[in-house]
Structures are given as C-alpha cells and as structure tokens.
Amino acid sequence: MKAPAAAEANSSLDAVDRALVIATQGGLPLVPQPYERLAEALGCSAEEVMRRLQSLLERGIIRRIGVVPNHYAIGYTANGMSVWDVPDEQIDEFGGKVGALDFVTHCYQRPRRLPDWPYNLFAMVHGSSRGEVLAKVAIIADLLGSACRAHDVLFSTRILKKTGLRIGGSD
C-alpha cells in the first residue's frame, strides 16, 4: 500500500493522531510499556494509542511499526546487500523464498538499469564477518539455482542514519 502524499496525510490527521505521529516518529519510548507512556503523554488510554496506530497503518499514513536494530551494536559488523539477476516472471516466487530466510532482513525488487546494472532482486544480509555474509549469500545462490544469471554483494562501508518522513510539532 502506498502512503498518501505528506500534505494529504497531514490534513487527514486529527490533533491526537498528529501528536501521536510526532511522539513516535523517532521511535517508541524505550520503556517496558511504551504504549502506556505514550498514553500518559497524550492524555488517553494505551488501548486508544494502539487503536489509533492501527488506524494510521490501515489508512496508509504510516507503513509499519517495527524494530530497527543497530546491527553494529548487536555484533553484526559486516552488512552486505546481495543483488541478484533472476527472471522477471519469477521475481515474486524467488523474492518470497529469499525474504523468508531467517538471515535476510529485507528483500525487494528494484528495476534493472541495463546494460550496466542487470540486478532486479535485492536481499540484505548481516553477519559478524564478511566471510559469514558470503556464506549466507551462497545459501541464497543455492536456493535460486540456475535461475540466477548473476549476483554480487555490496558491503556497507559506513553507518547512515535512517529516518523516515518527519512532521513538525507546529504548522
């Protein structure tokens, strides 16, 4: 589901929804009961916070609620984006199989940029060493078999701060 344009999403938020988005856009509070903490700040119940978050998801205003780990902090210092050239007519099948692997954190399709970039399937793999990442990539290669015409691994060289769209606290 595509999220509405920022202006459209902003105009469909009531005051509590807007305050909730602002309160959570940097992440949930790192406390044992984050929804209760948000509820206190917003002056409503934890159940109301959860109901509103579910509504924001269903309306496409937010795309997901999930954990974004710092891979380096948990020991994964080798991070490789594996890129694959597989038949377009099999991309959904292969994407589902690769994305289901427990060591793949995200998997998606991207357009080819021929003749220089033949890859259409991307899968992020993390490990404690480049060797570990390459061993996991070999498992993906075995899974794809002869349908894989080419692949490569692009290793991260630095950490980039990942953030989504931010809305301000005032208009």
**Domain positions in the chain:** 6-58, 78-155
Cα–Cα distance, 4 to 13 (Å, whole number): 12
Segment 53-82 mean pLDDT: 83
pLDDT category of residue 162 using cuts at 50, 70 and 90: low
Query: What are 26-45's pLDDT values in tens digits?
Result: 888 889 999 999 999 999 99
Same fold, 6-58 and 78-155: no
Q: Looking at domain 6-58, which CATH architecture does it have?
A: Orthogonal Bundle (1.10)
Domain 78-155 belongs in CATH node 3.30.70.3460: yes
Cα–Cα distance, 23 to 150 (Å, whole number): 44
Q: What percent of the chain has pLDDT over 90?
A: 65
For residue 47 the two structure tokens come to 């159940």
Is residue 120 scored above 60 in pLDDT?
yes
Which is more confidently placed, 74 or 23?
23
Which CA distances in Å does 100 have to 34, 71, 94, 137?
29, 19, 10, 14
| 126 touches 50 (CB < 8 A) | no
Query: What are 79-117's pLDDT values in tens digits?
Result: 999 999 999 999 999 999 999 999 998 999 999 999 999
Cα–Cα distance, 6 to 10 (Å, whole number): 6
Average pLDDT, the chain: 87
Cβ contacts of residue 92 below 8 Å, gap of 6+? none
pLDDT of residue 170: 55
Which pTM was predicted?
A: 0.62
Is residue 74 scored above 50 in pLDDT?
yes
**In b/e form, how buried is each residue of 3-37, taking b as 16+ CB within 10 angstroms?**
eeeeeebbeebeeebbbbbebbeeeebeeeeebeb
pLDDT of residue 12: 80
